[in-house]
Chains A and B, each alone.
Chain A
């Protein structure tokens, strides 16, 4: 087959003309923000329950055309770009929990939900979660979707064989400090050959910091990553390494999955949503798992918000939709559909959330995650936290994976933080 130049030319010209003209024509009619009945909601796949989105569309059908769009790829950069470009800004936008520190300083891009009567819902939501959606100046940017309480997942049989507590209550009560948790790791290593308690030391470091009320930069734009709360987390992580209770595997790799399946990594500290990863990753371990509280106190990982942007023309209507979508009943549905752990404690007692889970040997996992979610402490998240925690997290990883000397690693991390702090205008 030979393509004739003339044929190609003709086909190409026709196609190009059609698209360009069509594009130009529709280009002129492009609206900014919403018009009339049309209301656009942005979220990401798995960010909301499909059932709830569908029900919301039907419920408000008489007054608005709710258009719910799943945005792929880098969600935050797409939202920021769109707001900056001032075209096609959604009326309602999902905001991921870990991105809140970036949105809150720009609270003027969003409508203050307090002006729409959000306060009257406050008592129904976890208070720390509610506060996470509020900017320094008091503007309420985000309305709580879900949260990610972290708990201790472990394999029942392996713990029993190792002579460790194995019933969830006993694990919660007896492994309630990091020292006891580490001791258990040492005992596990002795009784079960090749078994390690945790995959890596990063999870120790991260969780210890997240358990507290302080992070890396405070409200006054001062670096606090060199203070006691971080040093302690560092020391505990290093101790875990020195006592040889962590593996040298990388989480999510086939090596790690095979170790989990063989009972050589029978334990992990992970958020509520991680149960999906475990169920998908090692389906053969069904029935072997239990969940208990993690040592000391729970921490939080993930969880997100809905917001109303300044481009929205009917904020009252939008707020009504949000408040309905995120009420206790619908949040329970979100847990069933997408593993979104509710930020409304009233959901925990609902029948859907009290089902025994055969993957966890018939345990009702809400009994662990529910109380955990209510014990999480509020922390201030600075927009500079990500940049100034990265060197410390990198170096603790170097200690864990590459075997770097902890003293050297700490001083490297601190000198890098000092440099970055200076660059970002954060006092050190």
Chain B
């Protein structure tokens, strides 16, 4: 939390607060932020508390609960499948997020300066985010298939051996990352675009007067002023990317005999949330599932703090 308090001090004059009168003076501010916290108290606190309680028990979802003490967490620490899923998630996240942010920013800057066909581009870049995930999975499954796939056809054409994309540990990760990049680049480009719109045009005017080229302008004006947006994109990508599951699930779901949560050969595409589903719903191990969920939560918090620090510190 200390990290978050480092955010640049906001505007309004923080006149020295006198404790007693203080809180009453700020009542309207507290009232304005209260809905979120009230809703959390009403609907979020009980589920969170319940799952914490659950993680200290054994429960099959229907029968009676059995006290398990810390054993679920002890097992979690020694569970190589869970650690494997953390590794998979982070690798897939990194493979997807960095290309995605780069492409999204480039797309946003281009969209911001393109004058014609804006509407068309906008809708087109929005399409990946709304297309049914079933359709996407079928399409990607066929594009990345070993013998009949388009990707391998292209690789063959330039003289590279074909890759068994959905059958090798790295192939699986790259395919999932490609799907995620495809799905979220346009979305993030629109976020960046909204951020670009807040940058006053007179700043660009001034830069041009000073004789700055487009690249200089980007690094001196656009990027620094886009930092809050970049921070937002990075943190949201971290929180959602580390909790990804539908992409690997639909992509690697093959024969009906297989668990849909296994994540392909060698669990190479099994993300943390897929592992949670496997424990909870395949094995009916609700207690352990809750412990896994708290493990996921810790990883997400840790990663978000790291990202926050990286973006906040640089150049500040």
Contacts and interface: CB of A to CB of B under 8 A. Distances in A.
Task: Decide if A and B touch, CB cutoff 8 A.
Answer: yes
A37 B159 CA distance: 70
B63 A423 contact: no
A258 B285 contact: no
B54 to A, nearest CB: 12
Nearest to B164: A248
Contacts of B81: 416
Contacts of B262: 390, 394
Nearest to A273: B256
Interface stretch (A57-65, A72-80, A124-132, A171-179): A72-80
Nearest to A252: B254
Interface residues on B, range: 35 or more
Interface stretch (A215-223, A346-354, A373-381, A395-403): A395-403
Contact of A106 (B58, B60, B79, B167): B60
Contact of A394 (B61, B169, B267): B267
Contact of B167 (A84, A250, A301, A387): A250
A390 B259 contact: yes
Given A80-B61, A258-B147, A250 B259 contact: no
A273 to B, nearest CB: 9
Contact of B145 (A74, A80, A253, A394): A253
Contact of B169 (A206, A301, A402): A402
Among B78, B142, B148, chain A packs the most CB atoms within 10 A around the CB of B148
Given A252-B254, A253-B254, A398 B265 contact: yes
Contacts of A77: 61, 280-281
B166 interface: yes
A387 B283 CA distance: 5
Contacts of A80: 61-62, 284
A321 interface: no
Contact of A254 (B79, B145, B255): B145
Given A394-B262, A398-B266, A255 B145 contact: yes
B257 A206 contact: yes
A249 B259 CA distance: 18
Interface string B278-298: 101111110010000000000
B119 to A, nearest CB: 12
B282 A74 contact: no
Interface string B154-172: 0000000000101111000
A77 to B, nearest CB: 5
B80 interface: yes
Contacts of A109: 62
Given A80-B61, A402-B265, A419-B78, A301 B283 contact: no
A402 B168 contact: yes
Contacts of B60: 102, 105-106, 383
Contacts of A251: 254-255
B146 interface: yes
Interface in B47-78: 58, 60-63, 71, 75, 78
Contacts of B284: 80, 102, 383, 386
Contacts of A224: none
Contacts of A343: none
A120 B278 CA distance: 40
Residue of B62, B148, B254, B262 with highest tally of chain A CB at under 10 A: B62
B283 A386 contact: yes
Interface string A198-233: 000011001000000000000000000000000000
B148 A423 contact: no
B265 A254 contact: no
Nearest to B166: A250
B141 interface: yes
Contacts of B255: 250-252
Nearest to B285: A387
B62 A255 contact: no
Interface string B130-158: 00000000000110011111000000000
A251 B253 CA distance: 10
A308 B117 CA distance: 60
B166 A84 contact: no
A321 to B, nearest CB: 24
Nearest to A274: B256
B61 A84 contact: yes
A255 B239 CA distance: 35
A314 to B, nearest CB: 23
A236 interface: no
B6 to A, nearest CB: 34
A394 B81 CA distance: 11
A255 B147 contact: yes
23 contacts: A74-B281, A80-B62, A81-B61, A83-B62, A106-B62, A203-B257, A248-B167, A250-B166, A250-B167, A253-B146, A253-B254, A255-B147, A302-B256, A383-B284, A386-B284, A387-B285, A397-B266, A401-B265, A401-B266, A402-B168, A416-B81, A419-B78, A423-B75
Given A77-B280, A80-B284, A394-B267, 17 more contacts: A77-B281, A80-B62, A83-B62, A105-B62, A106-B63, A206-B257, A250-B255, A253-B141, A254-B149, A386-B282, A394-B262, A402-B169, A402-B265, A402-B266, A423-B71, A423-B288, A425-B58
The 9 closest A-B pairs by CB, nearest first: A106-B62, A387-B283, A401-B265, A251-B255, A80-B61, A252-B254, A255-B147, A254-B145, A423-B75
